[in-house]
Structure 1
Amino acid sequence: MTKTPHLTILTGASRGMGLAMAQQLLSPERHLLCISRRASDELAEQARHKGALLTQWTQDLADTTGSRQRLQAWLESMDTSGMKSATLINNAGVIPRIGPLDDCPPDELANALRVGLEAPMQLTAAFLAATGAWVQAGWRGPRKVLNISSGLGRSAMAAQAPYCAAKAGMDHFTRCSALDEAQREHGARLVSLAPGVIDTDMQSQLRAGDPAAFPDRNRFVELQRQGQLTSPQDAAARLLVWLERADFGDKPVADVRD
């Protein structure tokens, strides 16, 4: 395997803000592993053009145990000589059917929590375990986990209990894991970061909700009408700037608008 100074793992990289982040992360200095349900031919072509090392896994993150085992085994097999940093970005998420909790089909509810909360927890566990072993073997590069959260994890909204609960859980497990890592020598730094309101397929899904089941629908319609949505490219750039801040991890739950 070609050696690069930096390793970044990104979930949900096939579209929207995830794809924009992946495009901006491509560099000859970085090995980028993208984990999504489908690979992106566009991203692969851009990686070839830039001379960047890109690995794409087609992986259903609802298979949380399989995702964790696959990532941990891959990290444990890596040659870390020459590697300067390792980063995990948990970006993937799912909005289930819009409406009250009792109207959400059981399979959609379970999938939203698996992809939006359990998968990030399992992948973070795999990342911390494998890279922690690198530290025990003498590796001293910075390790970072960036969890892409949402303001909806901090403010309740009708008709989206599963998504709000997943993001709230993401915030809190980040706090807990940050406390764990603070007790370890050369511990990882973790942040659960809300990216603001972004013009993605998720916003389109919310605007298309049934007003009778989704009382906040007009709020999202107005955000688009008034031009208050951030482009995926701009949102991705702001997140990646935050990732490089010297104080990354000092505040484990944050918002790019702070």
Structure 2
Amino acid sequence: MNDIKTILTGHTRGLGEALAEILLSRGIAVLGLSRTRSEASDLLQQVELDLADPVALGAWIATGALARFIDNARIVLLINNAGMLQPVGGIEGQDVNAIGRAVSLNVAAPLMLSAAVAAASPNASDRRIVHISSGAARNAYAGWSIYCATKAALDHHARAVALDDNRALRIASVAPGVVDTAMQAEIRGADLGTFPQRERFEELKRQGQLATPADAARKVLDYALSEAFGDTPVVDVRDLA
């Protein structure tokens, strides 16, 4: 599938790592953007970049590296996977600098990359943008005001971009289900006073109801590369046939 080029954020951990592994196993070239690197591969290009720093991200986009990577691709796939949970807790206890980093990583980076990919691939016959969303985008949780708000922003961005009616560009904000990653371990380690829903996630883990990163990644990618992708701008993989 050398006519497909994928840009993937947060490709070294959790769901992002599983997404990268499956893409590479299918012969799809990947440009991974993360603060760290994973094992080298002939099909994997990696850029060490702090995606929570919009100035640094904007400067990197301006180098033209993104445009060069996707040049001549028939299908361009952007997967905005990188994200952070913190700060967790009531609004009065949230660190303002942590809020700034979360909003930059969870919202500004995906929106900047989406615009850059759309502008840099005018000759691609099929451009697809996947925001990795969450059930927290659609359900409010005490202690998660920042995470809920930032994920909801991705959902609404997908809805609005879909109204632009660009035939060569499809977009969807996709919730992968509850996935057994380091973020889930972080959730289960949260103080019950700051996150009252902690016991629910502990129970999901005890009952084996968490999806593995590999299973969740496979569902996300199968949908992202399907003909149905983009028909609905906000999707949960658990609702797909």
Whether TM-score is above 0.5 comes out as: yes
Q: Which of 189, 194, 208 is the matching residue for 1:208? A: 189
* Structure 1: distance between partners of 2:181 and 2:124: 37
Q: CA deviation at 1:69?
A: 4.3
* Structure 2: distance between partners of 1:215 and 1:113: 23
Runs (5+) with no aligned partner, structure 1:
none
TM-align CA RMSD: 1.7
Are the structure 2 counterparts of residues 79 and 246 from structure 1 closer, same or farther at C-alpha, using a change threshold of 3 Å? closer
CA contact (8 A) 1:189 1:249 kept: yes
Q: Which of 49, 54, 67 is the matching residue for 1:59? A: 49
* Structure 2: distance between partners of 1:196 and 1:224: 13
* Higher Rg: 1
Deviations 1:18-49 (A, max 9, x none): 001001111574321000010113xx1xx2xx
Map of 1:101 onto structure 2: 91
CA contact (8 A) 2:76 2:124 kept: no
Are the structure 2 counterparts of residues 223 and 27 from structure 1 closer, same or farther at C-alpha, using a change threshold of 3 Å? closer
Q: CA deviation at 1:75?
A: 3.3
Map of 2:150 onto structure 1: 166
Map of 1:152 onto structure 2: 136
CA contact (8 A) 1:206 1:217 kept: yes
* Structure 2: distance between partners of 1:53 and 1:129: 24
Amino acid at match of 2:65: W
Are the structure 2 counterparts of residues 216 and 11 from structure 1 closer, same or farther at C-alpha, using a change threshold of 3 Å? same
TM-score normalized by structure 1?
0.87
Q: CA deviation at 1:71?
A: 3.3
* Structure 2: distance between partners of 1:126 and 1:234: 29
Q: CA deviation at 1:4?
A: 3.5
Map of 2:221 onto structure 1: 240
CA contact (8 A) 1:61 1:115 kept: yes
Identity %: 41
Q: Is 1:117 the equivalent of 2:101?
A: no
Deviations 1:124-171 (A, max 9, x none): 11111111xx3xxxx342110011000100000000111100000000
Map of 2:19 onto structure 1: 21
* Structure 1: distance between partners of 2:38 and 2:215: 20
Q: CA deviation at 1:65?
A: 3.6
Are the structure 2 counterparts of residues 234 and 5 from structure 1 closer, same or farther at C-alpha, using a change threshold of 3 Å? same
Amino acid at match of 1:85: I
CA contact (8 A) 2:175 2:237 kept: yes
Q: Which of 152, 157, 169 is the matching residue for 1:188? A: 169
